[in-house]
Structure 1
Amino acid sequence: MSGPVLEASGLGWDVTTAAGPLRVVHDVDLRADRGELVVVRGASGSGKTSLLRLLAGLERPDRGTVAVDGTTLAGRSEDELRALRRDRLAIVFQDFSLLPVLTAAENVEVPLRIRRTEPAERDAMVAEALALVGLTGHEHQRPDELSGGQQQRVGIARAVVGRPGLLLVDEPTAQLDSATAAGIVDLVAGLVHDTGLAAVVTTSDDAFLDRATRVVDIER
């Protein structure tokens, strides 16, 4: 399919507070094509996480539009948006959101179980995703047996196991030491290069800037 994987135009979102409406996301234009790493940079509290939630269809904007692979999110039902997230995009949040009772492999296979992928194909896809993020040999470890960087890698493996066209990653290095963070930067940039997906990464870490196709600055 031609055209951008992701396109947002004039995107805005307000929340209601005791003091009145608060602009959380204001007038954002953003585009990501296949094989591009787009970095969204901004200080804490600038609305980066909220922007990703809008791009993923987890929140509905007050202004502007979002389209994924040419499909406009506005007017879509919750079931349609869930199907979009299941089949065409994936999002990785700061807290990794791993299920503590499951092993690394079991965490990664969750999206495939939701899709009802056949067991043999599922096992092969999980092994491939763990290999992509450098975790072959860690399949049977639970999250509390993994380092922070390894947990982040499991989260990324779970996001890409279904081979989405769009990957959204929120502050992937925020909880990591500098050496571990550098490995995550290399991992995300490598996935974009090797698989051709489009990635949008929010960060306040300048280490991503040299690897970015383009940088979008978010200001309060």
Structure 2
Amino acid sequence: MEGVKEEVEQVSLPRIGSTAPDFSANTTQGEIRLSDYKGKWVVMFSHPADFTPVCTTEFVAFQEIFSELEDLNTELIGLSVDSISSHLAWIRNIEKNFNTSIEFPVIADLDRNVSTKYGMIMPEESSTETTRAVFVIDPEQTVKSIIYYPLTTGRNMQEILRLVKALQKTEEEKVPTPANWQPGENVLVPPPKTQQEAEERSQDDSLECIDWYLCKKKAE
């Protein structure tokens, strides 16, 4: 007897350089669409569950960088598969216990529409919770960075801030940034594409060159 084949829906997940999937979602601040944020940078992150220890410390820490992200023309959006009621109760609990008001919207992704589009659920780790994903999206709604953390490990907010600043510097000046780069430090020069360009670079006193392929310059 011929068996019944189970059809598994194939979802095309976003990658770095691809267009961020648009969505409409209910949040703690009302309904939002990703397309409403066009013209701004966006840091969208998912957390496994409300009223959990690691996630609570993260929400306090995300709020601590909220104003600095705003200064960088960057909006912050949270997400989990919990309900709006759960989100609101947890946010009130955070305000009471940590004297911290959460100013960014938190998506209630009960139908997993957004988390499925963005690959935020890792069935091998948990089939019921979203993992700790971070998506950085530019003003043209292109995915610029994707970071995943396990359920057990809280995120480093200063690294997320540094990442946004580095991505913006690359966008502004079309230059890469070295390891551990911080604003104000020298940026890298893209490697030369021709022998003549490599030779000219070795004679350019405005550059700090370790070798023909690795040169730094002052950021503009």
TM interval, shorter chain, is: under 0.3
Q: TM-score normalized by structure 2?
A: 0.23
Q: Higher strand fraction: Structure 1 or Structure 2?
A: 1
Q: TM-score normalized by structure 1?
A: 0.23
Q: Higher helix fraction: Structure 1 or Structure 2?
A: 1
Greater RCO, CA 8 A, separation 6+: 1
Greater C-alpha Rg:
2
